[in-house]
Structure 1
C-alpha cells in the first residue's frame, strides 16, 4: 500500500502486555491524535505499541508477563508482532510495517529517550547521528568498483587516441600503395606483351623459360613469406617492448602500495564483532534501564496522585497526617512501606547508570567507526594489490607467449633465408645456361609479378589495419558516453554523503528559524548548524572529517547580538532544538517515504501554548502524528484534533 493511501485510512491498534498495558484496542484517524492523561495512564506504553507494530525493537514487555503482542490494522492491511522473554532478552516475530526500522527509530519515534532528540542535550556528535542510516561502506565499495571500470574505459580511450594518431600515416601509405600497384600493373602488362611477342618467334627457349619461370615463382613465394615473417617479427617485438613498459609501470605502482599486515583484517573483523556484541549488550541494558526508570517514574507519580486525591475525603485534622504519610510509598515490588526519597535516590542511580551506558555506547560506536575506516584502507590496498598482481601475472603469461612466437618467427626467418639462397643459386645456374632474351623477359615478368604481389600484400595489410582502426574508433563515442556516465555516478556517490549532510543542515537551519519565529523565545535570535572540516585521528591516521557545530545567537539587553553556548539553553529551548534536529533527519533521509507515523511524548518542559504551536507545525510532515500530553497541555491544542483519554 502506498504511503499516501495508508494515510487516508483510520488505524486500529490492539496490544497485550506492552509496557503497562494489559490489554487494549484503540482506533485513531490520520492527522493529529492527542493522548490525554496524567502520568501512569499508559500513554507512553501505547506509543511503544504503535512503534512495535511498525517494526521497532524499543519495546518493554509488561513486568509480570512472559509474552506480548501488537496488531496494527490500516485499511485492508494488518501488521503483527509477538514478543517472548528468552533468558536475559526478548525475541520478536511477526510481520511489521517496516523491514528496516532504524531510520524511524532515530527520526520518527520521538520518545523522551530518542537519541536524535537527546543529541543536543547530551552534546553528542550531531553529524554521526544524522549520517547513521547511510551505509558508507557500501558506498565506498561501489565507488571502488566504478573507479576500476572508469580506469579501464580511459585506458581503452587512450589506446584509441594512439590509434587515431596512426591512422593518417596509414591512410597516406594506403593511397601510395594503391598508386604504386596501378603503376606496377601497367608495367607488368607492358612486359607481358613484350614477352608474348618474343615467345611467338622463339620456340626453342620455351622449355628453359618454363623451368626458370617456375623457379622464379617459387623464389617470389619464398621472398613474400620472408617479408611476412619479418613484418610479424617486428610487430611482436614492438608488442613485447610495450608490454614490458607496462610491466615496469605496474611494478612501480605495486612497490608504492602500503603493506597490509598478515591477518590484520581478520583481527579487525574480530574486534568489530566483539565491539558490536558489546554495543548490543550495552544498548539492551540502556533499553532495560529506560523501561525500568519509566515504569518506576509512572508508578511513583501514580502513588503521589493517589495520595493527593485522598485529601478531598479527609477531615481537616487528617490532612497533615495524610500529607506526612505521602512521604512513604508502598513498594510495588515487595509491598512494604518505603521512604519516597529512598526510591528517588534509587531512580537517580538508575539514571546515572543509564547515562553511563549511553556514553559507553557512543564510545563503542566511535571505536567501531575507527576500525571500519582502518579496514576500508587495508581492503582498498589489498584490492589494488590483487588487481596489480593479477595484471602482472597476465602480462608475464603474455610475455611468454610473445617470446615463444618471436623465437618461432626467428627460426622461420632463418629457414626462409636459407631456402631463398638455394633458389637464387638455382636461378643463377639457369640464367648461365645459354640464356636468351626470352629468358630475360620471363625473369623480368616474374620479378614484376613478385613485386606486384608484395605491393598487394602490403596494401591488404595496411588496408586491414585502417579498417580495424576505423572499426575501433567507431565505438569511441559510445565509450566516451559510458565513461562520462560512470564518472557522473562516481561523483554522485562521492557527493551523496555531502548532499545528505548539506540537506540535513539546510533543513535544520530553515525549520529552526521558522519554529523560533513561531515560539518567540525572549532574546533568542537564532540556533543554527555549521558544517566545518576538522582534522581528527582515525585509527593510525589523521584525516579531515566533517563536523556539525551548533551555534546559539542571543541579543543582549542593549540590543547587541552575541554567541551563547548550548549549555545555557533553557530546558524548553533545548527540547525544541532536539525535536527540530530529529525533524531535520526525518526530512533529509525522507523517512516519511517509508513510514507515515511520528510519535511524540514527554513535552512537559515546553509550555502549553508553544506545544500547541509545535504540534501544528509538525502536523505538516506526518500522515499520523501521535502526541502524549498532560490534560492542561492538551487543552491548548485545537479542538479539531482527535483525542484519546482511555487506553
Structure 2
C-alpha cells in the first residue's frame, strides 16, 4: 500500500495493447492531470490502463492483440499486470496496486459505465452501493458471537450474585459445624478417658477388646463409605436432571429448525451456477463489445472506413455485430471490406454503445439476483450446520445420560453391598457382648458413634469451606468479568452502529458536498438535491425485513419563487451527471479511499458545460492525490493552466 512519500511522487504508467493503445508511457504528477483530445484518441483506454495497474479487471485488450500489459511505478514500488485473451474473454493476472479493487471500481474509477454514476441516472439502490463494500454477514456473525459471549458473562455474574447471597448462611454453617465438632471432640475425649478406666479393670479381656475395637473401626469406616456412596448417587441424579433439561432444549431447537430438502438445495446450487455462467458470458460480451467499439473508433480516427478484420464473439447466435444489425439493411457489413459513410459508422458505434449499456444493466441485475441466492444459500448452510451441531450435542448428551445411568446402577449396587456389610458387622459386634464386658462395649459403641459423627461433621465442614472459598474466588473474578462485559458492550455498540454510522456519514457527506457544488455551479431554478434515509421493508434471503433505504429528493423553484419537489427523472443530463459524481465522491470519502487509493479517474463529462467541468474538477482535486480527467479539447481549455496536460497518448 502507498506511503506519504509515494503519494507525493510522480507516478509512471507504462501501457501495451490496452483499449486502442498499442504502446505508450506517461508520467502522472500529483494533482490534476488532464487528458485532452478529440474522440477516439485513446484517453479512455489510458484510464483503463491505470485501472488495470491499480488492480481492476475493467480493462479491455486491443482488438488485434492477444496479450497486453499495464504497469505502475509509484515511488520505490512497481506494480504490473498482464492481459491475455482466452476463449474469447480477457483474463488479467494478479499483481495490481490493490488486493481488492471492488471499492475503487465503485467510487474512484468514474468512467462512463461506473455503477455509482449510473445509479443516480437510473434511480438505482444508492444505499446498496454505499454498503456493498461492507461485509454485513461478517458483522452479523461478529454481533451474534459477541452477544453469546456477553450472555455467558451475564449468566456467570448472575450465578456469582446468587452465590454471594449464600455466603452469610454458609459462614454461619461453618461456625456451627466448627462448634459442634469441638463439642463432640470434648465428649469423645471424656468417653475415651472413661474407656481407659474400664480397660485397666478388664485386662483379661484385652484380646476381646481389641477384636471389638477392630470391628467397630470397620463398622465406622463402612458407614462412612455408605454415606459417601449416597452423596455420589445424589450428585449423579442432579446431573441427570440437568442433562435431561439440556436434551429437551436441544430437541426443542431442532424441532424449530426448518428442514431443507436436498432437492431444493440442489435447485438453488444449480440456479446459482447458472447465474454465474450468465455473469461470465455477459462479462465476455461486454469486453468484446468494448473492444469492438474501440477498434472502430481507432479506424474512424485514422479515417479508414474499411474494416478489414472480422470481430466475432462466442455467442451462439453469431457475432455481436450481426446481433446488432440484424434488423437493418442500411449497412451491408463493415467486416467485408466495403466503404461506408463515416456518419453511418458513428451511428453504428452509438448503437453498439447502447447495446453495451444494456448488457451492463443486465449484468447488474444478474449480480443482484446472485447475491440474493447466495444469501439464501448461506441461510440454508447456517441452518444445516446448526442442525449438525445440535444433533452432535444431542448424541453427546444421550451418551452422557447413559454413562451416568450406569454409574448410578453401579453405585446403588455398591450401597446395597455396604448395607449388608454394616448389618453383618453390627451382628458381630453384638455377639462380642458379654455380661462382664457390657459396660465397656457400650462405651466403645458410643465412642464409635461419636467418631462417625465427627467424621461426617468434618466432611460437611470441608464442603462448606470449599463452597465459601469458591464463592470468594468468584467474587474476585466478578470485577474482571464486569470489565470484560463492558468491553464487549462497547464492541457490540460499535458493530451494531457501524452500518448506521456509514449510512449516516454517506448521506451527510453527499448532502454537504452537493449543496456546496450546486451553489458553485449555479444551475437555474435548482435549489437543492438531497438524500433522505428511510426505513423500508425489503427482501433478505427468503424473509422480509426492515432495512434502511436512501431516497433522493430534488427541490426546484418556480419563476415566482415558489419551491416544489421534482423527481430525479426531470434532472437535465448535466445535473444528473453532477449528482452521480458527487454521490461517488461521498462513497470515496466514506470508505476512506483517499487513504488507500491515490487515483481518481473521470471520463465522459461532455454533458456538463466547460466552466462547470472546471469548477467540478477543482472541487474534486481537493480530496484526491492524483486526479486524472479525460476531456475534449474545448472543455480542457476552460481549466487552469497550472494543471498537467497530456495531448498525445
Give TM-score scaled by structure 2 length: 0.89
Shift of 1:617: 0.9
Distance 1:299 1:543, change over 3 A: farther
Shift of 1:158: 5.0
1:84-233 → structure 2 map (5 Å cutoff):
84-93=84-93, 95-157=95-157, 159-161=159-161, 163-164=163-164, 166-233=166-233
Please list the CA deviations of residues 330-367 of structure 1 after superposition, one character each: whole Å capped at 9, or x if unmatched.
Answer: 99865533134533443343234223212322221221
Assess if the C-alpha contact under 8 Å between 1:217 and 1:450 holds in 2. no
Q: Which position in structure 2 is the counterpart of 1:336?
A: 338
Q: Which position in structure 2 is the counterpart of 1:574?
A: 576
Count of residues in correspondence between the two structures = 625
Distance 1:350 1:631, change over 3 A: closer
Assess if the C-alpha contact under 8 Å between 1:205 and 1:439 holds in 2. no
1:274 correspondence with 2:279: no
Q: Which position in structure 2 is the counterpart of 1:237?
A: 237
Q: Which position in structure 1 is the counterpart of 2:590?
A: 588
Please list the CA deviations of residues 194-214 of structure 1 after superposition, one character each: whole Å capped at 9, or x if unmatched.
Answer: 333333444345444333222
Please list the CA deviations of residues 484-507 of structure 1 after superposition, one character each: whole Å capped at 9, or x if unmatched.
Answer: 444544443343333322222222
Please list the CA deviations of residues 64-112 of structure 1 after superposition, one character each: whole Å capped at 9, or x if unmatched.
Answer: 2222222222222222222222220122236221221221111111111
Assess if the C-alpha contact under 8 Å between 1:14 and 1:70 holds in 2. yes
1:299-448 → structure 2 map (5 Å cutoff):
300=300, 336-448=338-450
Distance 1:601 1:210, change over 3 A: same
Assess if the C-alpha contact under 8 Å between 2:527 and 2:557 holds in 1. yes
**C-alpha separation in 2, matches of 1:499 and 1:290:** 38
Please list the CA deviations of residues 312-341 of structure 1 after superposition, one character each: whole Å capped at 9, or x if unmatched.
Answer: xxxxxxxxxxxxxxxx99998655331345
More divergent stretch after superposition (576-585 vs 468-477): 468-477
**C-alpha separation in 2, matches of 1:457 and 1:398:** 28
Q: Which position in structure 1 is the counterpart of 2:468?
A: 466
Assess if the C-alpha contact under 8 Å between 1:213 and 1:443 holds in 2. no
**C-alpha separation in 2, matches of 1:236 and 1:483:** 33
**C-alpha separation in 1, matches of 2:163 and 2:522:** 71
Q: Which position in structure 2 is the counterpart of 1:492?
A: 494
More divergent stretch after superposition (244-253 vs 607-616): 244-253
More divergent stretch after superposition (290-299 vs 341-350): 290-299
**1:645 alignment partner, one of 636, 644, 647:** 647
Distance 1:7 1:281, change over 3 A: same
**C-alpha separation in 1, matches of 2:542 and 2:28:** 54
**1:523 alignment partner, one of 499, 522, 525:** 525
Shift of 1:280: 2.6
Q: Which position in structure 2 is the counterpart of 1:292?
A: 292
Distance 1:384 1:170, change over 3 A: farther
Partner of 1:337, secondary structure, is: coil
Please list the CA deviations of residues 521-565 of structure 1 after superposition, one character each: whole Å capped at 9, or x if unmatched.
Answer: 122111111221222344543332322111111122222221100
Shift of 1:600: 0.9
Distance 1:301 1:6, change over 3 A: same
1:525-604 → structure 2 map (5 Å cutoff):
525-538=527-540, 540-604=542-606
Across the aligned residues of Structure 1 and Structure 2, the Cα RMSD in angstroms comes to: 2.8
Could you tell me which runs of 5 or more consecutive residues in structure 2 were left unpaired when the two chains were aligned: 305-329
Please list the CA deviations of residues 252-297 of structure 1 after superposition, one character each: whole Å capped at 9, or x if unmatched.
Answer: 2221222222254444233223212311321332343244345545
Shift of 1:432: 4.4
Q: Which position in structure 1 is the counterpart of 2:60?
A: 60
Assess if the C-alpha contact under 8 Å between 1:532 and 1:548 holds in 2. yes
Assess if the C-alpha contact under 8 Å between 2:62 and 2:291 holds in 1. no
**2:638 alignment partner, one of 621, 631, 636:** 636
**C-alpha separation in 1, matches of 2:348 and 2:558:** 41
Distance 1:329 1:457, change over 3 A: closer
Distance 1:330 1:234, change over 3 A: closer
1:251 correspondence with 2:251: yes
1:11 correspondence with 2:11: yes
**C-alpha separation in 1, matches of 2:175 and 2:229:** 24
More divergent stretch after superposition (46-55 vs 340-349): 340-349
More divergent stretch after superposition (435-444 vs 454-463): 435-444
More divergent stretch after superposition (220-229 vs 339-348): 339-348
Distance 1:90 1:283, change over 3 A: closer
**C-alpha separation in 2, matches of 1:158 and 1:238:** 20
Could you tell me which runs of 5 or more consecutive residues in structure 1 were left unpaired when the two chains were aligned: 305-327
Partner of 1:579, secondary structure, is: helix
More divergent stretch after superposition (203-212 vs 61-70): 203-212
